[in-house]
Amino acid sequence: MVLNIHNKSRSVAVNYILDLSLLILAFCLVYSAKRGHIYIEDTFITLLPIYLTSWFLASVISRKFKEVDREHFVLHIKPFVVSALIMMGVMSIFLYGFKWYDLSRFIIWGSIGVFLVLEILFLSGFYFFPIFFKRQLHEKKYNISYLLFILDGLAIGASYLGLYYYKRGHLVLTDDYTIFLMGIYLAWIYVSISTHKFMVPGTKNYLRVIWPFAKSSLIILSILSFFIITFRIEEFSRLIVIGSILAFALSEFILVSIYHIYRKPVDSDEVEQDFFSAAVLSEPDEDAIEIKIEEHYKKGPKYQIPVSSKRSGILEDKLKNVYLKNNPGIYNFIDESLRLNIDIRHAEIISSGNPYNIEVLPDNDFHLLFNLHEINDFRRVNRYFIEVNKKLVNGGVFISRFIPLEKRRQHYLNRYPRNLANVLYLLDFIWRRIFPKIPFFQKIYFAVSKGRNRVLSKAEALGRLYFCGFEIVNIKEIDEYLYFIAKKTKEPSKDENPSYSPVFKMSRMGKNGKEIFIYKFRTMYPYSEYLQSYLVEINGYAENGKIDNDFRVTAWGKFMRKYWLDELPQVINLLKGEMNLVGIRPISRRFLKEFPEDIRELRKQYKPGCIPAYVSLLKQSKDGFIEAETNYLREKQKHPILTDIKYIGLATYNILTNKIRSA
C-alpha cells in the first residue's frame, strides 16, 4: 500500500494486488462467520463483479495509493476510510437500483468494515518505519464561492421537486417525501463541507474545479442508497430518489461550468463592454489627412518597398510558379500592386493559423510576409498583427486575407435553400456577433469557439491593421475572401479601448470656449475611426460633406442615422445644461479655425444645439456649415426666441421628409 518502490508503475500494481488480497480475505472471513462455510452462493457470485468493481472505483476516486506527504498517521489513513465509504455507497446504489433486498447486509457491509480494519492494521505496521513516510504538509489556497452555494442549494431542491411532479403529477409532498427531502439537504450540507467543493481552487484546470462536485453527488447518492438498503425503506420511488440526484448532478455540472468559464480570463483581444460608460472617440488630424490625399495622387501605380533586392524576378517566379500556381487571380492582384523585386531571403510565405510561425521569426528582417490562412481564425488578431509589424522593416508589406462579415449571408445562401439559409444566418449572427459583444456571453463564446471562424467586418479588419501600424496599399475581393496588401508605416497604437462601447463621446467646444463631451450612439463597426484618412484618400467627400461610399457604417447604423436615433444620447448633454435643443453645431477646436474671426467670437456667447443650423437650412458642406451658422447667429442676435422656433420647424420638416440625415 505504501511500499517505497523505485519503479512507480510497479509500486502501484503491488499496492492494488495487496489491497485486493485483503479485500478477498475480509469477504471470506465475514462470509464464513455468517454461513459457517466458504462455499459462495450463486447470488453472491453474481454480485461479486459489482463488488470488485466498486472496490476499484473507490480506490481510484479516493486516490488512496497516491504517494503524498502526510505528517500524521490519521491523515494517512483518511483516504482509506473515504475509499471504504465510497465502496459502501456504490454497492448501495447497485443494490437499491436492482432491488437486491434479499442479500445479506451483514456479509456486504461487514466485509467492507473488516477490509478497512485490515487495511489500517497493515498500514500501522509500516508507519513505524520513517522511510515510508515524509513529514511535510502542503497548503492549498482556495476561494469560497457563496454564489455557487446558494445556486447549488436551489438546484437540489428544484431537481427533487421536478422529479416528484413528473412522477406524481403534483407538488404536494407527502410526509415521507418531505422528511426524505430534509434528509437530502442534510446529506448535501454534510458532504459539501466534507468535500470542500465550494472552496473553488484558483486554477485554470477545469477538471480540478468540477471533480469535487461530481464526487459530492456520488457520495450523496451513496448515503441515501445506504440508508434505504440498510433499513429496507422500499416504498420510495427510485425515479425520484436516483433521478433527482442525477438531475441535480447535471444542473450542478452546468452551473460549475458556467462559473468556471465566467471566472476564466478571456484569451482574446475583444474588449469587455461597459454599457454604463462612454469611450472618448479620438478623431484623426484633418491636416494629416490632406497631406495623405496629396501623396495619394503623386504615387505611381505600383508600391515599391523601400528596401528591396536589385536582383529582380526571384520572389516573383516563386509566387507565380510555386506558391500561387493554382491561384493566378491572387498572383495578378499582388503583381498589379507591388514591384516584386524582393530577395526571397527576406520574404516569408506561409499558410498557418498558428501565430507561433510568425513569433519565431527575427525582428526587423523581412520585406514581405504573406500568410494565406484567413485571419478570422486568430484568437488575438491585434497581437498577431503587432507580431507581423515587429518582423517587418519600415515600409515592408504584409499580405493576407479574411472572410468579411458582408459575405457571410451570401455564404449560407450559396450552400442552402433560402429559408434554411436565413435561419442558419440568424443563428450565426446571434452566436458570432452578439455573444462576443456581451460581457457574460463573451467568455462562453471564446471558451467554446476558441476564437476560430470569428466574424470580422471589412471596416474592423482594415481598421485593426491601421491600429497596429499598417496602411493599406490595395484590397481586392477574390472568391469569398478579401485580400489585402498593407505596408508597415509606424509602431502600433497604444489605445487600450478602441471604440467598442455602444455609446461614445467626442470632445467639442461649448459656451465660452469650454470643452464639453457630446454623446452619441455608435453607428460604425469597431476600429472604424482608424480608417478615416484611408477612406478620404480613396473615396473623398460627397456633396453633403460626408465621406463618399463609407463602408464603416453598419446596417443598423444607417437606419439610426436616417431617423436621427444616433443623436438621442445628447439628452444627457441637455440635462447637464451643456446644450440647447437648437443652436450652433458642436464642433472641434480645430474646425473652429475655419470660421471667420468675428463669427468665432460670436459663437462663444451661445450653447451648441442638438439640432444645428445646417439641418434647418440644408447646408452640409464645410462652407455650408459656416454659412448656415452665420445666418443663424445673425438672426438670433435680433430675435432669439423666434429664431429658435423657426429653425426647429425647418429642421423637423427636413428630417421627416428625409431631406437630410444625421452626421
3-state secondary structure 270-309: CCCCCCCCCEECCCCCHHHHHHHHHHHHHCCCCECCCCCC
Show the low-confidence residues of the chain (pLDDT under 50).
1-7, 128-141, 291, 293-294, 297-298
Q: Is the pTM of this model over 0.75?
A: no
Q: What is the predicted pLDDT for the residue at 465?
A: 95
Q: How remote is the C-alpha of 202 from its chain's centroid?
A: 19
**Region class of 563: left (phi > 0), else alpha (psi between -120 and 50), else beta:** alpha
Angle at 246 between CA 244 and CA 247, to 5 degrees: 65
pLDDT in tens, 163-222: 888 888 888 888 778 877 887 887 887 787 777 787 776 666 777 778 888 888 888 877
In the structure grid, which three cell numbers stand for residue 62, read together?
Answer: 479516493
* Strands (DSSP E) found in 219-290: 279-280
Question: Rounded to whole angstroms, how far apart are CA atoms 642 and 153?
Answer: 67
* Strands (DSSP E) found in 18-105: none
In the structure grid, which three cell numbers stand for residue 127, read together?
Answer: 508507519
Cα Rg for the chain, rounded, in angstroms?
37
Q: How remote is the C-alpha of 208 from its chain's centroid?
A: 21
Angle at 319 between CA 316 and CA 324, to 5 degrees: 150
Residues 6+ away with beta carbon under 8 Å from 256: 148, 209, 210, 213
Backbone dihedral angles phi then psi of residue 33, each to the nearest 5 degrees: -65, -35
Q: What is the predicted pLDDT for the residue at 234?
A: 66
Host H or E run for residue 370: strand 366-374
Question: Rounded to whole angstroms, how far apart are CA atoms 602 and 606?
Answer: 8
**Contact, 159 vs 245, CB < 8 A?**
yes
Question: Rounded to whole angstroms, how far apart are CA atoms 350 and 323?
Answer: 9
Domains, in order of start, for the chain: 1-138 (no CATH), 139-261 (no CATH), 283-404+456-488 (3.40.50), 522-656 (no CATH)
